Amino acid sequence: MERWAVANTVYSPSYISLESALGHYGFIPEGVFHITCITTRHTRTFEIEGVKHFYRNVLPSWFFGYTILEQGDAMVRMAKPEKALLDVLHFDRTLRGPDDLEAMRFDRPGIRAAIDKRVWHDHLSLSTNKALHRRARAFLNWLR
């Protein structure tokens, strides 16, 4: 967690998402040894104390959907489960169908139990990206 607070501070504004959030929620089986964040600033990579920090740029209109986790004295901005998955679908244009999604080795039952479909649809409704909407539909179909 302390590493996440550093990641939020080093390049702000940012929130933990993508592989880091998926690992935090147990949605992927792999260990994640780098930190991936979303920011409204330029895409950047830093190495801090041997840990890679990746920051992916989004428009300010897509910078939402995170919660604040308290960790001791630190506050960490972490993508909510729905937004972490939508961020993955936003950036990974290769996730088009069931085979692509199976290759990600997502924990389907864990995701089903964790996501709130109303929140998912509310978040998705804020995007006009048609390709993202197609990938999100494909993901929900695969999730069933």
Counting the structural domains of the chain, the total is 1
Mean pLDDT of the chain: 94
The H or E element containing residue 93 is none
**What was the pLDDT predicted at 1?**
56
Q: Which tens digits make up the pLDDT trace of 48-105?
A: 999 999 999 999 999 999 999 987 788 999 999 999 999 999 999 998 889 999 999 9
Give DSSP secondary structure letters for 8-42. HHHSSSEEE-HHHHHHHHT-SSS---SEEEEESS-
Domain that holds residue 11: 2-143
Stated pTM of the model: 0.94
**What was the pLDDT predicted at 92?**
94
CATH code for the domain of 69: 3.30.460
Query: Which tokens belong to 91?
Result: 């950036």
Percent of the chain with pLDDT over 70: 99
